[in-house]
Amino acid sequence: MIKQITIRLSIILMLFFGIINVANSQYLKRSISRIAEVSIDISTPTAHYQPMFGVGDNNSAIIEAIERFGVLTIDSSGTSNPATYAEEEIILFVLNGTGRINYDQTIMPISQNDFMYIPVGTEFSISNPREKSLKVVVIGFKIFPETQIEPTERLMIANTSEVAFQVLGQHGPTTLFQLLMGTTRSRRDRLAAAYQANSLFIMDFAATGTNIPHKHEREEEIYLILEGEGDIVAGEEPTDSTEIRHPAKAGDAFFFAPSTLIGFYNTTRDGEEHAKILAVRFRYPRQPEN
């Protein structure tokens, strides 16, 4: 009886916080404008971390494969604390600004739309010698115990300007994809670098374009809206499978659990700013690789 009451209470709380809609349709929504800064290991008085999912966020209980997803803002002349994660691989994406990354005692310049892979156990920090602030998305993935990691000495880094746009037929002709990073076995992505992160990519939507709603049975996924606005599909009604849509704009992020219906309808029109989404998809624990 106590166990049943606990389960029911958990479901009620999840409904209240918008964590779950229906069975097999679980999602979380965050808006960066509403997220307070928290102090974590990379924080300093000049490096400010806003947690969207995972570390620093108190309502990420349904997430299993990702350890952290947040925005690190570094003030002019600021720097983050050095960090080393023994059980995480890290992806960084520069939202805006220019700065430097100290990667295993090697300093390299970074700028807007750069993306890079930080292997397990590699120390890194970020600094900003410029006058304007530097904003970086920090994504950490849990390395599963059975994963065999090959050592990587050089920093794997690229910029979105180096990545061609392409149409992926299953998602509709009105969305252009840039395939940024995949696993070490990838033959289609700009960087074949990761172990747990299956795909990091950008979707660029034509006016009133659509990412056709779909599901991933074995993977979790996050959408971060970079520009524009539209309706995110996150789940479906249990009675008639009608799509559940949520208005979304730049700075909003959605986490989708496996088997959740996912999609996007761009509401911008000709002559307006394109809607763009940074997305990352990653393997769910205890599931075999695709």
Strand partners, 253: 30, 224
pLDDT in tens, 55-74: 999 888 888 889 999 999 99
pLDDT in tens, 141-182: 998 888 888 877 789 999 999 999 999 877 778 899 999 999
202: left (phi over 0), alpha (psi -120 to 50) or beta: beta
Rounded to whole angstroms, how far apart are CA atoms 72 and 125? 11
Residues 6+ apart with CB under 8 A from 176: 165, 166, 167, 203, 204, 205, 206
Report the mean per-residue pLDDT for the chain.
Answer: 88
Pairing of strands 156-159, 106-111: unpaired
DSSP string, 87-109: TEEEEEEEEE-EEEEEETTEEEE
Residue % of the chain over a pLDDT of 90: 69
Cα dihedral 159, 160, 165, 169 in deg (nearest 10): 110
Q: Kindly tell me the sign of the dihedral angle through the C-alpha atoms of 89, 191, 213, 139.
A: positive
pLDDT in tens, 173-213: 889 999 999 999 999 999 999 999 999 999 999 988 899 99
